[in-house]
Amino acid sequence: MTDKYLVFGNPVSHSLSPDIHTFFAKTTDQDLVYDRCLVQEGKFKEQADAFFKEGGLGCNITVPCKLDAFSYADELSDYAKAAGAVNTLKKLSDGRIYGDNTDGRGLVYDLKRLNCPLEGSKTLIIGAGGAAKGIIKPILECNPCCITIANRTFNKAQDLADQYQMVKASTLEDLNETFDVIINSTSASLKDELPGIKDEIIAKTRFVYDLMYRKNGETVFTQKAKSLNIQHAYDGFGMLIGQAVLSFKLWRGVEPDFKKTLEKFR
Ligand code: ATR
């Protein structure tokens, strides 16, 4: 029987994961099928149970089910614990379900490809939602000098910063330092909005990354950075590929070619 994987989410029809993982399987000679599954409201557990019972070996989880997947796992990686969310589940040989979160490490994978000067850097993360929560631990492992989290709702930034040394919180308006690296983790770009930090903060940085991406063209945030003459401004498409590479590696023990995949799907 062919090994079965899929992505759970709602909506899920737009997800590129089936195409990416099918490409991984082909290019690494792995015999598997990867499907998508629309999760009905409140039915994640039931649908995940059915998938694993029918021989499913692993799955990705996208919005809005990452917290459900976190609760579903029998065992969690440190990254999943830090993120409070799971984007990858794997059935272990003893039948228990292991939950990981590869989003933040996927980001770091892409930042390394782009020669982002993270080590020793003053890093700004804009936003304090689920996406921010998932990237802090992997970024800290790259040894930045310090991280500031700035959010529209200050208390959320403060709550997140309180969990780590070397991380402090700010409102968006109060920011007036310069940063080496700026990462936009807000969902503002999905609505073609800017998160509301001053242009001069962006203009004085060396490297900008938006976790969001658009199928056609730049996000408003990378556009803004480029209009302020920032040469190194990138969207989150590489992060999407990076998190997929790490999920595949967890399931199959082989690492697909990141650059080849990026070229194929960009
Ligand atoms: P999640 O479910 O991942 O936590 P979310 O609640 O939508 O997602 O939060 C996404 C982040 O984007 C939050 O930091 C949010 O700011 P608030 O905490 O103040 O809500 C931020 N965000 C979304 N739209 C924004 C905008 N137009 N300007 C600034 N920040 C924005």
Check which CATH number belongs to the domain holding 68 and give it: 3.40.50.10860
Are 80 and 127 contained in the same domain?
no
Asked whether residue 24 carries a pLDDT value surpassing 90, the answer given is yes
Same domain, 117 and 228: yes
Looking at residue 184, its pLDDT comes to 98
Q: Are residues 178 and 132 part of one domain?
A: yes
pLDDT at 216 over 90: no
User: For the chain, how many structural domains are there in total?
Assistant: 2
Given this model, what pLDDT does residue 131 score?
95
**82 C-alpha to ligand 1 centroid (Å):** 19
186 CA to middle of ligand 1, Å? 5
pLDDT at 215 over 90: no
Is there a single domain that holds both residue 36 and residue 111?
Answer: no
What does each C-alpha distance from 244 to 45, 82, 221, 223 come to in angstroms?
A: 22, 19, 24, 26
Residue 266 scores a pLDDT above 90? no
- pLDDT beyond 90 at 180: yes
Asked if 47 and 127 sit in the same domain, the reply is no
- Residues annotated as part of the active site: 66
Choose which residue among 10, 67, 151, 172 to substitute to test ligand 1 binding: the one with the highest number of ligand atoms within 8 A of its C-beta.
151
Mean pLDDT of all residues in the chain?
A: 97
Residues in the ligand 1 pocket, defined by CB under 6 Å: 127-131, 151-153, 156, 186-188, 193, 195-196
* 133 and 256 inside one domain: no
Here the CATH number for the domain that contains residue 110 is: 3.40.50.720
Give yes or no: residues 112 and 228 share one domain: yes
Q: Same domain, yes or no, for 214 and 255?
A: no
Q: Which atom of ligand 1 lies at the shortest distance from residue 129's CA?
A: 4
Owning domain of residue 80: 3-101+239-265
pLDDT at position 202 is 98
Are 110 and 219 within one domain? yes
pLDDT digits (tens, 9 = 90+) for 141-151: 999 999 999 99
Most informative mutation of 186, 189, 194 for ligand 1 (most atoms within 8 A of CB):
186
The ligand 1 atom nearest the CA atom of 131: 3
**Angle, CA 98 vertex, CA 96 and CA 103 arms, to 5°:** 165
Do 96 and 9 share a domain, yes or no?
A: yes
Looking at the structure, tell me whether residues 41 and 143 fall in a common domain: no
Q: Are 254 and 30 in contact (CB under 8 A)?
A: yes
Residue 92 and residue 149 in one domain? no
- The 10s digit of each residue's pLDDT in 4-22 is 999 999 999 999 999 999 9
Q: Whose CA is nearest to atom 30 of ligand 1?
A: 195
